[in-house]
Amino acid sequence: MRMRKAFTLIELLVVIAVIAVLLAILMPALNRAREQGKRAACLSHLTQLMLAWTLYADENNDRLVNGAAGNGWEAFSSFDPQNHRGEKPWVYEAWLGDEGQRMANIRKGSLWPYVRQEKLYKCPTGRRGEVVTYTVMFSMNAILHIEEFTASPVDKDWHGKYVKRAGEVRNPSRRMVFIDEGWLSPDAYAVHYNQEQWWDDPPVRHGEGTNQSFADGHTEHYKWRGMDTIRRAKNEDTTGHTGDWVPQTTQGFQDLYWMQQAAWGKLGYIPTHAR
């Protein structure tokens, strides 16, 4: 009778070790591929929102949709009393209530007739319970803080920086409209015009950067240059926004300048670090 030859314990351990090494090599590549897929899907969602944003302006005499998420002008009447009178926000309070209520607040918004799929309002990296992860920039018919401009030593005129009509946007290929913030701010994404510091914190949901869209319709991914920006972004993504952060490195200031110029079209102060 012929005996079968079995694997020895040593041979099994060698096979397991080889498999473990292969997994250690392949997993980062698989994770990068998965992230690339999520990033591409996110950029596609932003493209759809930009088409809706543009169509809204085309059908409303060049007026931009109200970019302040929430109740509309009533929610911000203390410092922005007339700006959004009669303008429905692009989405309502999609951060309140259970998931069903949040979905309903998407459908109440001004962009719903143009983007009628709830999933397009959320990045694939969004967490459980999040239904909207994209936010409109302050400057795109969202929140007008007049003091940001009247206190500026460089430029006291807010026209062309804060815009209410599509035709007012200067250099549209570099003016940001939506940003993948990773959560929906109760109004819009804020960044200072005349102060050399962040207002809302830098978001990070894709690698070491984030996705955004611009007024000419294109979308892109921006990777932060400063390790201090990345550390701050990852920390705040876990613990929540605190805001009003000052960069610690030259590269971190470059990130701040980039975001401020994308928001407002220019800086409202003389930068202290070379650009």
Please check whether residue 252 is in contact with residue 228, taking contact to mean a CB–CB distance below 8 angstroms: yes
For the cut 60, the answer to whether the pLDDT of residue 230 exceeds it is yes
Q: Where are the alpha helices (DSSP H) in 60-134?
A: 99-107
Residue 28 has pLDDT above 80, yes or no: no
Domain annotation covers residue 92: yes
Q: Quick check: is 145 in a domain?
A: yes
pLDDT of residue 79: 47
Angle, helices 227-239 vs 250-264, to 10°: value is 70
* CA–CA distance, 70 with 141 (Å, rounded to integer): 14
Q: Give residue-wise pLDDT tens across range 100-156.
A: 888 999 999 999 999 999 999 999 887 777 889 999 999 999 887 666 666 555 555
Asked whether residue 274 carries a pLDDT value surpassing 90, the answer given is no
Q: Beta-carbon neighbour count of residue 242 at 10 Å?
A: 12
Closest CA to 172 of 216, 115, 229: 216
pLDDT at residue 239, rounded to an integer: 66
Inside any domain, residue 13: no
d(CA 99, CA 45): 20
Domain-embedded: residue 32: no
Q: List, for residues 155-173, the tens digit of each pLDDT value.
A: 556 667 888 899 999 899 9
Domain around 205: 49-264
Domain count, the chain: 1
Higher pLDDT, 87 or 110: 110
Instruction: Determine, yes or no, domain membership for 65.
Output: yes
- Cα angle 84, 50, 128; round to 5: 90
Is residue 6 in some structural domain?
A: no
Q: With respect to residue 225, please indicate whether it lies within any of the assigned structural domains.
A: yes
- pTM score: 0.83
Residue 186 lies in a domain: yes
